[in-house]
Structures are given as structure tokens and as C-alpha cells.
Structure 1
């Protein structure tokens, strides 16, 4: 069965978002928008934090989320500079930039904490076509300033089989389950490239990295797409896709940040704004 992307929560809005972007969900997922609406047809993404616990922005101030103009959260993102966040390309393409807001400093979505900033500019990796083919990375430049610490970008030395990493998000607590109102996190080990290739025929070690337990039980899910996978404060992955959520033998797949670090850094500079 082909891998499905963890679609954005907004894509759950069904017909409304179906025309915006097809983010795989279901048995496989690609992180992306997920609002209260049903999932978009043909989408396979179901990003969320499964098997984790509430986390604190005091420990992870770079974790942010994306909403539509009505305030519905659909994806995650991560601060990479005072003026920009990185996210998944399939999240960036889910809605027009004018409809997207970046919410930072808000651990509980039911509060008014932190800041909400509009998006001034969107960069999507030119090689992106869909999550299972890699290059699932984008940078959103905000209108204003993000007054929180940015994550560091990984280099090639950050990836060691079995290393414990942390994935963060506000997505669903189980496949098709309840959405979280608060930031959650779960620790998952990095999986070898050979193990990822066994799980997903489309796995590309140059652009992707996998994380998860052989028995499943802990993973990202719907609504977590675009969010960070970190070791300490170093961003090593961006939630991209997977087969279901927390399934045995199906680790989550993340964009390999080290491959795109120079592009992310270049696109994060305020001078690029026209």
C-alpha cells in the first residue's frame, strides 16, 4: 500500500480544502493543515502526537503552529529566525499565504497568549511535488517579529541510528481521534536508512529521515505536519508523512533538515523581503 501523507488539519475540512492541496492521510499521512472539517479526498496525511504528553514552550519556544484566517490550526512549524518559520511544503501549499497565520508563544490554543502574525512571503523548495518524493520543506516569512528563540539547524553529523529525538505538535492524540488543545511531545528513536526503506519503498535517505519504535505506539499524527523533530534545540526533521499513526513497522517520516539547511537559512533572512 502506498504511503499516505499526514494531511494538514485544514484538509480535514473536506470539500473546502480539497481544491487547495492533496495531503495524504489515512493509512499514511503527510503533515499539513487540519481543521474541524473532513479530510480532503485522496489525501493521506495524518500528523499528530500519539503516545506523548503535554510539553512546555519554556523548553521548546521555537515550536509554533499555523492557522487559517478563522483561527483553525492545521499544521505545525518551527521558528528558524526572528522573521521566519520552517514548515512542510505540503502545509505551505494547503492555503493561500493571505489566509495563513503563524501563532507563536501559545502553548494552549484556548488562550490568547503569544503573538499571531500574518505571512508576507512563502518559499517552497522548487523540487517539491508531494511528500513521498522528498523536498517537503518551506519557509514562511512573517509580517512582524517572532520574539522567541529559534531552533538551530542540523548538520550531517546530527543523524545517528537509535538517537532519541523529540517530535512536537498540537495534532490529534490518535488516528482519527481528538485534537490536542495544548502542545504535546513524544520521544522517538531515529531509524536506520535501511529500516526506513523497508517500511517505505519511496524512502530517500538524502531528503528524509525516519523515527519511531518497531512496535509503534509513539508517533506524530494529523495536525502535526510541518512541526519540529529535534535533538536538544537542534532541528533535525520536519514532520512530513507516514502510514497511519504510531503503527508497528511504520515509523514517521521527516524532512531531513541538514539537506536543506542552507536554503532554510538563506530564505529566513529579512533582506529577502521585497
Structure 2
């Protein structure tokens, strides 16, 4: 069985099997000629006004490599594997911008990166980090799941995946995209990933036949159920493959950590 890889990921359709599975770093290129009508299979363009908490991370040169969710005016939740080796000066956060080639919104620097102290690899869990921004943002934040909120994680709950990552074209999206997929049971996810899946720290979303997923460039981006942040894009086997739903950090398991970082 192929080794599950972190998804420096995007919203993906069924024909994404052609996308390379190798992770070569944060250099997820922006397609300059990505047409407005380009859509992932099963997905569509999303409005930043509908999801104002959705942000993306860039290198100092402006290359988008991951996503994130604004959980407080100066705090962004993202995946640990996105920033584990970074210094604050090597990451910028772009908020309020739907089109990566546009100028809307704000670009802000990062003053602190907190990576969960138990994080080792994506398949060992604890794939969560919090960025502290150099200035407060005025965009609406997203409510995140509480530790005891089991109902929001019920199998079959419709979830929204958001990101700017790789699409079925093989290039990252110029525009914010969204796709809908149901949360799966722990048994379904474990059937695909075995011991790489930890139900205490992870949650999966997808269809048995595949076809809708996140992919490279989407890591750290939000998975939302009824307006509540329940997951952060983490890893998967390929993208949108049958039998291998996307794996997300189970945000509710880290509610206390998020609250502590917000209060710090």
C-alpha cells in the first residue's frame, strides 16, 4: 500500500489520479492562465464573503503553499506539517482574498508559530499549529468544535472543504474553491489507512467511490460543518481515490489548545 502523504493540498476531482503524489516543499505554483470557469470535479468556486475566515499561507515571495482558518482576530489555525520547520519571518497570511492574483484583502506577517508539542508526522496525529499575526484582522472568525461536541462529527454530516490547492488540471487554483463531502465513520477511515488513522485526533470526509477531495496545496485549510470548524486538511493516499477519504485534524480534540493560544 502506498504511504499516505501530507497534502500541501487542494480540492480535487476524480481525474486527479494523474497528479504527482510527491511532496516537494511549499512551492505550489499559481497558474497565471487559470480561467474563471475552471472547477474541480464535484466542486465550484467559493465566495470569500461566504467564508471570510478562510486564509492562505505564502512564502515571502508570495507563493501560496497551505491554507488556514482565522479563529481569532490575530490567530490562524493550520496544519503543523505546513509550518513545522518555518520561522515567523518566512510565512505570511493572506486574508479576504478570493483570487490569488488579485489585490483584495490584507497580507499580514506572523510573529509566532506554535506547533503542537507532540507532533511528529501527519500519520501520528497532532497535526495542528497556530500562527499569531502581527496585527488583528477585521474579518469574521470561525467557531471551532468543542471537545465534547460529538454531534458535529456524526457520520454522514455534510462538510465543506475549502482551499486553493491542486485541481484536476494538475495546477493549483487561482481562486478559492469549495466542495461538499460527508464525514465518514472511524471504521471506514481505518479500513483505508489502518494504523495511520487515529480516531482521537483525526476525522475523514469523502465518498466510497472517491471523486471529491482536497489535494496538494490545501493542507491546513478548513473543513466546516454547519458553520463550525471541525477539521484542518492533513493527509491522504493520493487525492480523491476510491476507498481513501481525506484525513483531517479533528479540531475538537484540540479545542483547549486553541483556546489557550487565543488567550496567550
Shorter chain as denominator, the TM-score bin is 0.7 to 0.9
Residue 4 of structure 2 is aligned to residue 4 of structure 1: yes
TM-score (norm 1): 0.84
Aligned mates of 2:204, 2:7 — CA distance in 1: 17
Among 110, 116, 120, which residue is 2:107 paired with?
A: 116
Render the CA deviation track for 1:116-159: whole Å, top value 9, x for unaligned.
Answer: 01100011111100101100000000000111011101123211
Q: Following superposition of structure 1 onto structure 2, how do residues 195-214 of structure 1 map, counting pairs within 5 Å?
A: 195-201=188-194, 202-214=196-208
Aligned mates of 1:127, 1:121 — CA distance in 2: 18
Cα drift, residue 262 of structure 1: 1.1
Which residue is 1:43 aligned to? none
Render the CA deviation track for 1:143-187: whole Å, top value 9, x for unaligned.
Answer: 00111011101123211001100010000113x702100000000
Which residue is 1:15 aligned to? none
The Cα RMSD (Å) is 2.2
Aligned residues: 243
Aligned mates of 2:135, 2:21 — CA distance in 1: 38
Structure 1 pair 266/154, CA: closer, same or farther in 2 (3 Å)? same
Cα drift, residue 95 of structure 1: 3.1
TM-score (norm 2): 0.87
Residue 161 of structure 2 is aligned to residue 167 of structure 1: yes
Give the ranges of 4+ consecutive aligned residues of structure 1 lying more than 4 Å apart after TM superposition: 25-29
Residue 28 of structure 2 is aligned to residue 35 of structure 1: yes
2:7–2:236 CA contact under 8 A, matched in 1: no
> Which structure exhibits the higher relative contact order, with contacts defined as CA atoms closer than 8 Å and separated by 6 or more residues?
2
Q: Can you give the 5+ residue segments of structure 2 that lack an aligned partner in the other structure? A: 10-18, 31-39
1:26–1:243 CA contact under 8 A, matched in 2: no
Which residue is 1:77 aligned to? 68
Aligned mates of 2:93, 2:74 — CA distance in 1: 11
Among 80, 92, 95, which residue is 1:89 paired with?
A: 80
Cα drift, residue 34 of structure 1: 4.0
2:7–2:233 CA contact under 8 A, matched in 1: no
**Secondary structure at the residue paired with 2:123?**
helix
